[in-house]
Amino acid sequence: MRFYEVYKPVFEVVRNRIMGIAGVKQVVLGEQVRLHNLPLAVINPSSAATAPITLEGDLRALIRFDIYLIIRVSEPEDLFEDIISLMCDIVDVILSDRTLSGSALDIRLTNFAPGEVRFQNNLYYGGLLSFEATVFYPREP
C-alpha cells in the first residue's frame, strides 16, 4: 500500500464534511485559492510523521493539517457570533466521527486560534484550526 492511499482519504473526508456546513461557502483543498466567496475554508496539509507499532514493520502515521477559515475582511462586531461560532461548527463536524469514516484511527484538535488571519499578503478575520489524524500504515507484504 502506498502512503498516498492512507494520506489522501483523510483530507477528502475533512473536505466533504466542511462542505456540508451551510455557513461555509467555499472549501479549498490542494487547488489554487481564489477568494470569491467568504466564508472560505482552506485545508492545508502540514507535516506527517511515522512511528513503528509492530515488530513486523507496520507504522502509525500522524497526519497534521491546518484549516484557515477566512470569514470577513472587516473586524467583526461580535467575535463569538461572527467567527468562533463557525469555527466550532467545523470542529464539531470533523470530530463527530473521530475515525473520519474509517480513514483514520483517531483525529484530534491541536490548535484553535480565532482572530486575524494573514493570507495572500492581506489581513482577514477568521481563525486557524489545526488537527492531527492518526492512521495505520501497514508494511508491504
* pLDDT tens figures, 71-103: 998 889 999 999 999 999 999 999 999 999 999
Look up cell 477568494; give the residue: 35
| CA dihedral sign of residues 84, 86, 92, 95 | negative
- Residue 43 to residues 22, 46, 47, 71, 139, Cα–Cα distance (Å): 17, 9, 13, 14, 28
The CATH superfamily assigned to 3-137 is Phage tail protein-like (3.30.2000.10)
pTM given for the model: 0.92
**Helices and strands counted in the chain (H then E):** 3, 5
* pLDDT tens figures, 23-37: 999 999 988 888 878
Q: Of 43, 44, 61, 42, give the one whose Cα is nearest residue 52.
A: 61
